[in-house]
Amino acid sequence: MKKTIILITTICTTVLIGVSCSNDSNETTTSTDVTTVGASLAIDAANEMDLNTGLLITSNPSTAKTAETPPAGTTCASITVTTPNGTEYPKVFLADFGTGCESDNLKRKGKLKITLSGAIITTGSKMTIERIDYSINGIKLEGIIEYTNTTTVETVPQWTRKVTNGKFTDNQGKVYTNSGIYTTKQTAGVGTPFVLADNVYEIPEGTHTVTAADGTTLTLTVKETLIKKYSCLFISKGQLRIEGGIFDGVVDYGNDSCDAVYTYTHENGSSFNLSM
């Protein structure tokens, strides 16, 4: 089948690590729509990376987990901890990446302010991640991530991940605002509370929106449960539905391999491979 060129090289300049795209057509589309898809996927990946960083930095015996092998971009951050009320909680962690901290091709600058209202394994507790003059690989990220424990069954820990006032500025100065909320459940590693590496999370539902400067908006909705392993940098399985602008299709994250390869399939059957 002849493929409509939906994901072209303009995507590659906007995503977090760099997206490579393949197609067999010379047809063109609106570049704003195309780059908004790239930005949308990069935003989601960045949110997951920062959430992983927050979990690692706040992990110690009193918050249920101890740190072992840190995720990419975390090891060289300077960490300070304060308790502003003089009590155990709230507890504030400041991760300062300074003018550059690089690991696994991710270079972070600026600060992440991470506030715990209580132990993250306790129902009702919240971890708030605030980005301060913060960037990854030169892409500026703003906004707040709220990770709230909503567990009702002790053996299946559950959280909501809410992003507010999200703002993504790419290396060309293009700005995308974003917001959304996901439900996350821990499905592996519950029995080893002092180990992070064996944790596996499922995202069964959720939606986020990304809006370009010209008003073009994409809505990404969980179509098939997403699988996120703590030990993997990216989501390894599941599907997101993308709607808005010229897009009406599905992103498939693959077969649960710990890689950065996934596919976009348009409603007409055309598909394109991407690699973060």
- The tens place of each residue's pLDDT in the chain, 276 residues long, gives 323 233 323 333 333 333 334 344 334 344 445 577 778 888 988 998 899 889 888 874 433 333 444 444 446 788 999 999 999 999 999 999 999 888 667 899 999 999 999 999 899 999 999 999 999 999 999 999 999 999 999 889 999 999 999 999 998 899 999 999 999 999 999 888 778 889 999 999 999 999 998 888 999 999 999 999 988 888 899 999 999 888 899 999 988 888 877 888 888 888 877 766
Task: Identify the helix (H) or strand (E) that includes residue 226.
Answer: strand 217-229
Four-point Cα dihedral 136, 205, 201, 267, nearest 10: -70
How many alpha carbons fall within 13 Å on the CB side of residue 67?
13
- Give the model's pLDDT for residue 65: 39
Residue 109 tokens, joined: 């600058």
pLDDT value of residue 272: 76
Cα gap 241→223, rounded to integer Å: 6
* pLDDT at position 104: 65
What is the chain's length?
Answer: 276
Where does the chain show beta strands of DSSP type E? 20-21, 78-82, 91-96, 101-103, 106-116, 126-136, 139-149, 158-169, 175-188, 200-212, 217-229, 237-244, 247-255, 261-266, 271-275
Question: Would you state the pLDDT for residue 11?
Answer: 36
Provide the pLDDT for residue 149: 96
Residue type, 107: K
pLDDT of residue 196: 81
Classify strands 101-103 and 91-96 as parallel, antiparallel or unpaired.
unpaired
CA pair distance 17, 24, nearest whole angstrom: 24
